[in-house]
Amino acid sequence: MNNIKVAAIQMVSSTHPDENLETMKNLVRSAAKLQADWVLLPEYWPLMGKQDSDKLAVAEPLGCGPFQQALSELAHECGVVLFGGTVPLKSRELDKVLNTMLVFDADGERLSCYDKMHLFGYSGLGERYAEADTILAGQSVPSLRVDGWGVAQGVCYDVRFPEFFRAQLPFDVLMLPAAFTYTTGLAHWELLLRARAVENQCYVVAAAQGGLHESGRKTFGHTMIVDPWGEVLNVLGEGEGIVTAELDVGRLKSVRARLPALSHKML
């Protein structure tokens, strides 16, 4: 396991998939020019619809479709491991999609496929969200190692469930695409990311949607990379952009050696 450079991309996705696709490509290419080894995209990068049901029209079968093809080709073109945020995939229920993170290696081969398990629901302050109305929950998380690093996977609302990541131990880095609302993000986003980093003594790489969308929804942004001691290494408040940081093996080992909490875990 060697040090690697990671990039997390922030977008403000529109209601136009073709436009979002071009924005995504440009940002990944820019991340590659910054010499990133891994690149993480945000949740819902292909579409932030005016209605939650809009994503049904663009859902792809696993293994084919313009979103998945673009991710595979771009990973190969740029020579990066591309954690493809989330893409809507067709599910066994016609009125629901899977909200899926796909991972492609530098040869363009798919390494992993994780369907979001915890579905966000919130009502208050004039807002209401119910992902379960249009998304079918996933059932399992695949084990993943990339470049010698153990990788935990989660999507957005998953971050509120610490036991979900404990079940994935051992791992060294947690990859989390998200589209936190402004209300919940302002209250809890950084707190939750730093808590997951500290309790699992791991790096956390979180790529977010960040701004005002055509639907009127406002996402919190603050794409962030956190180290195993809970220190924020880099953050982007709002708007499109890229944050980068080095995942340092020495730092990871030092934190775990000085405070061997993972070896003290009883349950």
CATH number at residue 94: 3.60.110.10
Cβ atoms of 198 and 262 closer than 8 Å = no
Residue 123 scores a pLDDT above 80 = no
43 annotated active-site: yes
Catalytic residue among 43, 60, 131, 238: 43
> What does pTM read for this prediction?
0.96
Catalytic residue among 156, 202, 218, 238: 156
Give residue 157's domain range. Answer: 4-263
156 annotated active-site: yes
Look at residue 249 in the predicted model and tell me its pLDDT.
98
**Number of structural domains the chain divides into:** 1
Look at residue 125 in the predicted model and tell me its pLDDT.
67
What is the Cα–Cα distance from 127 to 139, expressed in whole angstroms?
28
Residue 185, CA atoms < 13 Å, CB-side half-sphere: 22
Catalytic residue among 55, 96, 116, 218: 116
Report residue 128's pLDDT band, with 50, 70 and 90 as the boundaries.
confident
What is the Cα–Cα distance from 209 to 31, expressed in whole angstroms?
17
